[in-house]
Amino acid sequence: MPQDRERQWPWIIAGYAVLFILLAAATSFLYDAVAPPNRPIVIRLAVAIVVGILLVHVWRHFRGDPRWDPASPFENALTRQPATPKLDLAFVKLRDELESARRSRSYFEKVLWPRLRTLARSRGHIDAPIPPERSRLGRGPSFRTIHRLIDHIATPSTDRR
C-alpha cells in the first residue's frame, strides 16, 4: 500500500466540494429553466448523480485498487535489491573475538590477553596488569575497558627495556 494513500483524502474532499458546487449550480439553473411539474425530476436526477458518484468511489475503495495491492513476487524481483555489505574476514574474526572476550572471562584470559600482552611488548610497553573482573561472574572486561587497553598499547611508549 503506498504511503501517500492517506494524503489523498484532502484532494478527494476538495474534488467532491468542487463537484457538488458545479452540480448545485447546474441543478439550480435547470430547476429555474424547466416547467414546474418537471422540477422534482431535476432534483432527483442531481441526487442520483451525487449518490452514483459516491457509490462508485466507495465501491472502488473497498474493491481494491491494484496500485495499493502488495507487489507480486515477479514485481519484487524487478525491483533492485540493495547490495549486501561484504566485510573483510579479518574484521569479522576480530569482531567475533572481541565479543567472545567480553562474554567469557576465560576466553579473554586464555586467548585475547596473551595476544594483547605480546602486542604491548612488541611496542615497547611494560606488562600492563590484567583488567579486573566485572561484577557479573564469568564475564570478560567491557568493550570500554578493552578499548582503553588497546588505546594504551597504540600510544608510543617512552620507556624501552
pLDDT tens column, 115-153: 888 888 888 887 777 787 776 777 888 888 888 888 888
Predicted confidence (pLDDT) per residue in 61-86, tens digit: 777 666 667 778 888 888 888 888 88
Report CA-CA distances (Å) from 123 to 18, 85, 158: 80, 34, 10
The predicted structure's pLDDT at residue 45: 93
pLDDT at position 1 over 50: no
Place of cell 435547470: 30
The predicted structure's pLDDT at residue 128: 72
Tell me which residue of 33, 60, 32, 31 sits closest to 45, measured CA to CA.
31
- What integer best gives the mean pLDDT of the chain? 83
**What are the grid coordinates assigned to 135, written together?**
561484577
